[in-house]
Amino acid sequence: MSNSLKFWKPGTSGPGSNLDRASEAEGNLVSSAPLPGSSLSIQAQRQNLPIYKHRNKLLYSIENHGVVIVVGQTGCGKTTQLPQFLLEAGWADNGHIIACTQPRRVAATSVAERVATEVGTILGDEVGYTIRFEDVSNKDRTRILYMTDGMLFRETLVDPLLTRYSVIMIDEAHERSTYTDLLLGVLKK
């Protein structure tokens, strides 16, 4: 039967675009991530993450396109580094905030703690988080804000244009939830 179904086998050239994915020659992305307690400085750890070599391309894409989809392996630095790249490039100037949603409360708090350490600030100052019943941020000084997708959606009820944000990252968008789907619809408008 010549018209048999063909399935994609992991490890072979799969469906879709590979433009945004690291090539096989770049090695195992997870193994290049720094280990907790590493003797490397925080800056050296950041530079060892796979996303770091794509910093300029990512910033260019964000500057020139209204929507950018970033795909990368777990541990490559998307969640922790991209907001810092944006902060360093001036996207949080003039009182604006870089928002990054997380599907779960624990993720929002733990990632915010890690990024605050990397930025060299105390949690709740330049880097903060807001989850239901808990807001660890400073209205005047927070520049990177991690939050659950439900919290950002609630904010759209008061400010539909989300005017205090210069960039909004919907992290883990593939993990479908009611709030993520609603947010994507609101942000599209």
pLDDT of the residue at 23: 44
Residue 110 in this model has a pLDDT that exceeds 80? yes
Q: Where are the domains of the chain?
A: 39-188
d(CA 7, CA 15): 10
Cβ atoms 22, 52 nearer than 8 A: no
Torsion of CA 9, 15, 18, 23, to 10 degrees: 10
User: What integer pLDDT is reported at residue 36 of this predicted model?
Assistant: 56
> In this predicted model, what pLDDT tens digit does every residue of 114-135 receive, in sequence order?
999 999 999 999 999 999 999 9
Assigned CATH class of 39-188:
alpha beta
Convert the pLDDT of each residue in 24-46 to its tens digit: 434 433 333 444 556 678 888 88
pTM passes above 0.85: no
